[in-house]
Amino acid sequence: MTAENPAQNAETTMILDGKAVASQIHSDLARGVQQLIAEGGRQPKLVAVLVGDNPASAAYVGSKARTCAKVGMAGETLRLSSDLTQESLESEIRRLNGDPEVDGILVQLPLPKHIDERRILELVAPEKDVDGFHPVNVGRLWTGEDCLAPATPSGIVEMLRRCDIPMAGRHAVIVGRSNIVGKPMAGLLLRESCTVTICHSRTRDLPAVCRNADILVAAVGRTAMVDASYVAEGAVVIDVGMNRVDDQDTVQRLYPDHEKRAALFAKKGYILTGDVDYHRVFDRASAITPVPGGVGPLTVAMVVANTLRASLRNQSRDIEIDL
Ligand SMILES: NC(=O)c1ccc[n+]([C@@H]2O[C@H](COP(=O)([O-])OP(=O)(O)OC[C@H]3O[C@@H](n4cnc5c(N)ncnc54)[C@H](OP(=O)(O)O)[C@@H]3O)[C@@H](O)[C@H]2O)c1
């Protein structure tokens, strides 16, 4: 397939455009912030804690700060040296917890090896935990209470909703059981009244289980593992995977005759791919997310959305946002 966007060749497969959905979410957030300020409220504020100088983490934190600015919120990055101690990081988190001007705290992972990551995440005040990783928020998600839920799976539900893809009563199969994606995805789809199956590396006959899915979510971290044999005709396919491929043979196999990808590979020495073999699955799916440009842009939008939600609660404001 030579076209950059195979939807141009297909009549029935909908491409779920994460950038377009993220941009709608940004507009809704900007409206919410404007109303909050017009009603005498304070500008919502997110603080991202960045320990060390991992370039991928710095880029990710930078995109959150830019999105905050875009929707009229304050987005700060607290940069800390990679050799700081557990005690000093804990004292920074306590300070942010106690700062009434800070609505959302995000600790960028991974943390250096000498830091007890779980302890840090559990120290973040649940009402400021915009990543939704604190056990209180995890528990509330599963008991159906109001909570801050992890951004990537929340973004997926938001995309399905905004693209008019029905969820209630449909069978969702999730491949992957991580705390960040797979498990909260299951909790959120259950809330939407899907019938949910969670798969993992020990699942027997994974392709057969996946072929039962009306909605198939791949969150595995293995390039193009989900091929056409995993997908029922007409399924909705959500690809969470974000994998770096740096060997030419794989690029050639996955994207034969694809000039843009080849050019990108020649320039950078790698390309990003998902867990789904997009071109081979495309014709079977009724809707599918591309990588990049599918799930990725929603993650950042939903962290910022969580910050606005946290701020409205913090400031005891009752403003409706369509999220
Ligand atoms: N787009 C975004 O914003 C975003 C956000 C987060 C993550 N991601 C990407 O999503 C992918 C998954 O991330 P993650 O953090 O959830 O990964 P993770 O913590 O490594 O979890 C991977 C899951 O996949 C399962 N798995 C691995 N190999 C398998 C196989 N052969 N068959 C069936 N299941 C298998 C594992 O099963 P076991 O539990 O049995 O080991 C595990 O539950 C990665 O590519 C990551 O980069 C993207």
Instruction: For the chain, give the percent of residues with pLDDT over 70.
Output: 97
Residue of minimum CA distance from atom 2 in ligand 1: 296
Q: Where are the beta strands (DSSP E) in the chain?
A: 14-15, 45-51, 74-80, 104-107, 171-175, 195-199, 215-218, 236-239, 243-245, 271-273, 287-288
Which tokens go with 156? 């997926």
Asked if 224 and 153 count as a contact pair (C-beta separation under 8 A), the reply is no
24 catalytic, yes or no? no
Checking if the pLDDT of 3 tops 90, the result is no
Nearest to 188 by CA among 240, 235, 150: 150
108 catalytic, yes or no? yes
Sequence-distant (6+) residues with CB within 8 A of 98 are none
Checking if the pLDDT of 8 tops 50, the result is no
Q: Where are the beta strands (DSSP E) in 52-103?
A: 74-80
Q: With cut-offs at 50, 70 and 90, classify the pLDDT of residue 256.
A: confident
Asked if 29 and 304 count as a contact pair (C-beta separation under 8 A), the reply is yes
Q: How far is the CA of 302 from the centre of ligand 1 (A)?
A: 20
Q: With cut-offs at 50, 70 and 90, classify the pLDDT of residue 4.
A: very low
Checking if the pLDDT of 11 tops 70, the result is no
Q: How far is the CA of 284 from the centre of ligand 1 (A)?
A: 23
Checking if the pLDDT of 83 tops 90, the result is yes
d(CA 217, CA 220): 9
Checking if the pLDDT of 252 tops 50, the result is yes
Amino acid 258: pLDDT: 87
- Give the residue extent of every domain in the chain: 41-125, 150-295
Dihedral of the alpha carbons of 92, 96, 98, 101, in degrees to the nearest 10 = 150
Tell me, yes or no, if the two domains 41-125 and 150-295 fold the same way: yes
| CATH class of the 41-125 domain in this structure | alpha beta
Q: What pTM, to 2 d.p., does this model score?
A: 0.95
Checking if the pLDDT of 79 tops 60, the result is yes
Catalytic residue, from 45, 108, 128, 275: name it. Answer: 108
Q: How far is the CA of 198 from the centre of ligand 1 (A)?
A: 12
Q: How far is the CA of 219 from the centre of ligand 1 (A)?
A: 4
131 catalytic, yes or no? yes
Q: SS3 for 1?
A: coil
**pLDDT tens digits along 131-182:** 999 999 999 999 999 999 999 999 999 999 999 999 999 999 999 999 999 9
**pLDDT tens digits along 191-232:** 999 999 999 999 999 999 999 999 999 999 999 999 999 999
Catalytic residue, from 17, 28, 64, 129: name it. Answer: 64
| CATH class of the 150-295 domain in this structure | alpha beta
Checking if the pLDDT of 270 tops 70, the result is yes
Mean pLDDT (the chain, rounded): 95
Where does ligand 1 bind, in terms of residues with CB under 6 Å? 152, 175-178, 180-182, 199-203, 206, 219-222, 240-243, 295-296, 299
